[in-house]
Chain A
């Protein structure tokens, strides 16, 4: 019995059984291994296994890039082999779109591809900023592009603020995309410096401006939390 490494989740045990079953189905024990031609089409369990691995890899705080790339490439191969075959067993994940290499991940799992793309982009985004201050001029052999190794490049990243904000910002923006803000476009939402409400209390003092800012924040939070914003008419502060 082969010892397998890694977490032993119940689901993985089932996978292992399926995987071993694939092995034996794959080969005729009487013939030497090399002479066997592997099936042209992968089983759906192999696809699921690969998707599972991709998930697992992406969930790591810092994925092993080599592992990720190899799994993705293998997944592409599996997808490529499955696509033209009409009599395939149904694939549990969303149906395979016409396989363009770039869309392969998207077809298997939209959220997955989004998270992978954002993860990889995020890596490049942060990394790109660290490259920004470096001159790209070639100084001739044997020197290459000097990569600043210390504080100067890190300074640029410091200005960015907490890195987790990168991902978080995307999520917040994503949340707001769905919201139709036309209903809430009122003077209340005009910048504080220009005055905030059309009511009798015009020319708000600093204190009132602050109160209104808080009101705006409350309102914002309510929208986020999903309370019935319509029930609360946008009044001149609270």
Chain B
């Protein structure tokens, strides 16, 4: 007997209709469907829809800011920091990553420190504070090291952080510098045992001869303490600099990639790793290409991609052979002859590669563009977005000052409908894949009042400059947005600008 199912009505969400996701999909590794959200008259990244939630500074002196404390911030800043060009170099944020639920946001900096922020819980009293992130835990992940064999200093800068999906009360993340990957456990402690027999209240050992009665220790509540402990250290497997780590969908293995090799690890085994890609030539003088980024497929634990400095992407299948030197698929766009220059190769070098949440597409970032590729089509990308094409005429200067070698990252939103990447002058760009509209926003202290709507920015290329536009020659190339992150299911983004972490949210209707 057929029963007609009642129509399923989703509760209206407070979030933007374009990005509305079905409720209840809160599992740690749920992936929103790959199909684009229904179009509405408003575009998700259209003008006037992003607001600054909070700006977080992670220097040693200040740990948390919120809107109300902004005035105090200015005082603090004036005395310690002035503007962020005077901030300690160690505080420069080098990686940003949300965890799988978006509850936690981790940053790594040049000083080897990891700071984890936790989202403010929703409360009836302060509804507007939801979406803010507060410091949850801070720890020193990596220390500067010295390789005595090669007489080389190993930087403690955190290159990447990747979260593991939550499987119990504790949180786990991988953090890596140039040479060593570490697995950290972050756990809460809110109880402490009291009433030991052999120790007194101060923890000093008691003389057993003085003990006449026995008692059972009891757990008493204490102030919440968050502690981070290193659970695994995966060292000595990389000769060259690690640029990527990626957790496999089997949650038992992960890979680490350096300039010439990719290694596969099991989380439980630290003294052994399997080399799965090796592009080192027999004669180093023949070296012409390096690995720039690598990532596992979000669903197929046997597949991964890696990108190169020549602008190519290779999809590999670990079932095909033990050493994946032969790719399954090879993605490369033929060079546009009209754009050919001496810098063609440098600007084609891919700085980041990311699978879409659906697993059907990959996105790559090279110096001037972001490209979306369909895994089923190798000969060209399906979409190309110009990030800052006005720099094309400035490549020689950018080569001279090394800016042409900057490595920008790119991210997908939760529903794979919008992509985001950074640029110079503290600008970052969003591209809506459905409406083909894009927006340029700025992460800067001067222009952001608390909760004010971010004003779209525009770069003027030539001719007459309008009032709000900025000319190409006025761009500040020392202010670059290399690292950004997008909340896995909501329209909350984190943008790192030097030592500042900006959190923006889509305006609540």
Contact = CB atoms under 8 A, between A and B. Distances in A.
B273 A64 contact: no
Given A1-B473, A123-B284, A145 B234 contact: no
B299 interface: no
Given A16-B400, A65-B290, A153-B236, A164 B151 contact: yes
B396 A22 contact: yes
Interface string B400-440: 11110100000000000000000000000000000000000
Is chain A's binding surface mostly helix, strand, loop or mixed? helix
Interface of B: 149-153, 234-237, 239-241, 259-260, 263-264, 270-276, 280, 284-285, 287-290, 292, 302, 309, 318-319, 321-324, 338-343, 345-346, 349, 389-390, 392-394, 396-397, 399-403, 405, 462, 473, 475-478
Given A4-B402, A66-B290, A69-B289, 10 more contacts: A3-B478, A26-B396, A49-B400, A65-B290, A69-B309, A73-B345, A74-B343, A78-B342, A117-B285, A150-B271
Interface stretch (A31-39, A193-201, A203-211): A31-39
Contacts of A130: 239
Contacts, number: 183
A2 B401 contact: yes
Contacts of B289: 69
Contacts of A27: 393
B351 to A, nearest CB: 9
A188 B284 CA distance: 42
Contacts of B284: 117, 120-121, 123-124
Contacts of A37: 338
Contacts of B476: 3
B342 A120 contact: no
B171 to A, nearest CB: 25
A26 B392 CA distance: 12
Chain A CB count within 10 A is highest, among B292, B400, B402, B473, for B400
B487 to A, nearest CB: 30
B331 to A, nearest CB: 19
Given A6-B401, A69-B290, A163 B150 contact: yes
A73 B150 contact: no
B397 A2 contact: yes
Nearest to A78: B342
A19 B478 contact: no
B342 A38 contact: yes
A141 B241 contact: no
Nearest to B239: A127
B479 to A, nearest CB: 9
Contact of B309 (A2, A66, A117): A66
25 contacts: A4-B477, A12-B400, A34-B339, A34-B389, A38-B341, A46-B342, A61-B153, A65-B260, A66-B349, A69-B309, A70-B309, A77-B345, A126-B150, A127-B239, A141-B321, A143-B322, A144-B264, A147-B273, A149-B234, A149-B235, A149-B271, A149-B273, A150-B236, A153-B236, A154-B236
A33 B397 contact: no
A229 to B, nearest CB: 33
Contact of A33 (B237, B290, B389, B405): B389
Interface in A143-160: 143-150, 153-154, 157
A49 B398 CA distance: 12
Is chain B's binding surface mostly helix, strand, loop or mixed? loop
B396 A23 contact: yes
Contacts of B401: 2, 4-6, 16
A140 interface: yes
A216 B176 CA distance: 52
Contacts of B274: 142-147
Chain A CB count within 10 A is highest, among B234, B309, B399, for B399
Contacts of B403: 4-5
Contacts of A35: 338
Contacts of B340: 38
B400 A65 contact: no
B152 to A, nearest CB: 5
4 tightest A-B CB contacts, nearest first: A4-B401, A120-B284, A33-B393, A144-B322
Contact of A77 (B273, B342, B462): B342
A62 interface: yes
B484 to A, nearest CB: 20
B322 A3 contact: no
A139 interface: yes
B144 to A, nearest CB: 13
A141 B338 CA distance: 45
Given A20-B397, A26-B396, A67 B405 contact: yes
A143 to B, nearest CB: 6
Contact of B272 (A141, A147, A157): A147
A88 B263 CA distance: 47
Contacts of A145: 274-275, 322-323
A124 B151 CA distance: 16
A229 B226 CA distance: 72
